[in-house]
Amino acid sequence: MQLIWENIVIALMALWANKLRSSLTILCVIISIMSIIAVVSVVDGMDSYVKEKIASQGSHVFTIKRVNEWEILTDFDKFLKSLKNPKLTLDDLEALRHEVGLAEFTDASISRKERIKRGRRFVDEVDIRGRTEEYSAIGEFPLEKGRHIIRIDLLQRKNVCVLGWDVANSLCPEEEPLFKTVKIAGRHYTVVGVCEKKSSILGSNQNVFAFIPISTFMKQFGSRQRSLSIPIRTASMETFETAQEQARMAMRIRHKLKPTEEDDFYITTSENLVSLWENISRAVFGSLVGVVSITLVVGGIIIMNVMLVAVSERTREIGIRKALGARRRHIMLQFIIESVVLTTAGAVIGIAFGFTAANLVAAFTPLPYRIALWSVLVALGISFVVGLFFGVYPARKAAGLDPVEALRYE
């Protein structure tokens, strides 16, 4: 153990004596390890975030949509084909409420961006969401004051709205917002509720929205070329899959699809989204492995060449050590440790730079990050293996020098 420690000290002294050369030598290692740490930290943070937010929507909620927007990332041709699917309507909603007996709640959703005004105050790009009276039982929209949309609002197509916290606070900063009148796309609406303030998601403000009855939405903005999303919640996971099959059969019958024809709608669940994200993250990691492997090989070759140069420069030193009784394994150990110390130093610097880069990404973008201990261990392990592998040949060459010839070397 003492011999190893002495060789580590010698290696560090050699690195310090040739600071510029050592820095340039381990540059590829630094870049590779920095890439591993930064990408793993961001992807791992995204992974935790996606799973947490999808899980918060409820494990027994599925949504029927006209198209699967995620297919634009995984199968673009299929996505383009799905744009020809028939739109989902309020008639589909009523049919599903009648046919899906295992559904506890069935909602419908449609949205667009509009300006909301009150007097001289206004908020741009507010997400106007047309919903039914059951939206509050499916999503997480706790109220700070007032009430949610109710059935009578839909039946009478009332101009009422439930505002997000930031919208209500911006329009009525010094007064009670309930029962005040606001203008949405030029029409007057009465505020009947205000939702509690929600935390930001990926840097996006989750409080800039307004719920209005979906029937009122259709009356004001029209339904042409617009398709609904229909979320359905079951009472338990035991009935979840059966309820999906009931919904699928009801939609296929309504759309008059033959047994051999594919669905012209899409059913998405939280498990689907988690699985899709896992596939995307695996693809990112796979690409990272390829790029980093090439960089590490190049870095290893550079390190081996530098170590060969170091052997030539220290030939006389090797001869003196052998003349004083150093054995072949002692010389090999010295140069292998020096190579490993070189790559490990690069790994430590790369880890520091990697976390700094991930922190900067999180600071200047909405992407979250999380420090993964396993990525640090992997980075150190990879650097150790690279130093060991590419240090063996120079070490064997140094150990094989003839002491007499080495002492004569000038």
Residues 124 and 91 in one domain: yes
Give residue 358's domain range.
2-52+275-408
Q: What is the mean pLDDT of residues 281-285?
A: 72
pLDDT at 15 over 80: no
Residues 162 and 102 in one domain: yes
Residues 68 and 197 in one domain: yes
pLDDT at 160 over 80: yes
Q: What is the pLDDT of residue 10?
A: 66
Q: What is the pLDDT of residue 28?
A: 78
Residues 162 and 126: their CA atoms lie apart, in Å, by: 12
Q: Percent of the chain, pLDDT > 90?
A: 28
Structure tokens at 327: 């054995």
Residue 274 pLDDT class (50, 70, 90 cuts): low
Distances (CA, A) of 22 to 31, 154, 300, 396: 14, 73, 13, 21
Residues 81 and 94: their CA atoms lie apart, in Å, by: 27
With beta carbons less than 8 A apart as the criterion, state whether 106 and 100 touch.
yes
pLDDT at 410 over 60: no
Structure tokens at 282: 């695996």
Residue ending a domain, choose from 238, 253, 269:
269
Residues 157 and 189: their CA atoms lie apart, in Å, by: 11
Residues 207 and 261 in one domain: yes
pLDDT at 391 over 90: no
Residue 155 pLDDT class (50, 70, 90 cuts): very high
Residues 304 and 261 in one domain: no
Q: What is the pLDDT of residue 240?
A: 85
Q: What is the pLDDT of residue 44?
A: 75
pLDDT at 367 over 70: no
Residues 284 and 139 in one domain: no
Over the Cα atoms of the chain, what is R_g?
32
Q: What is the pLDDT of residue 408?
A: 54
Residues 265 and 279 in one domain: no
Residues 77 and 45 in one domain: no
Residue ending a domain, choose from 206, 234, 269:
269
Residue 365 pLDDT class (50, 70, 90 cuts): low
Structure tokens at 44: 């791992």
Q: What is the mean pLDDT of residues 286-301?
A: 76
Q: What is the pLDDT of residue 196?
A: 92
Residues 307 and 200 in one domain: no
Residues 71 and 82: their CA atoms lie apart, in Å, by: 9
Residue ending a domain, choose from 245, 269, 293:
269
Residues 242 and 316 in one domain: no
Domain count, the chain: 2
Q: What is the pLDDT of residue 224?
A: 64
pLDDT at 278 over 80: no
**DSSP annotation string for 138-151:** HS---EEEE----H
Q: What is the mean pLDDT of residues 357-383?
A: 77
Residues 180 and 309 in one domain: no
Residues 265 and 280 in one domain: no
* Least confident among 101-115, 190-204, 308-322: 308-322
Q: What is the pLDDT of residue 403?
A: 59
Give me the half-sphere count of Cα atoms (radius 13 Å) on the Cβ side of residue 62.
26
What does the pLDDT look like over 39-55, one tens digit per residue?
A: 777 777 777 666 666 55
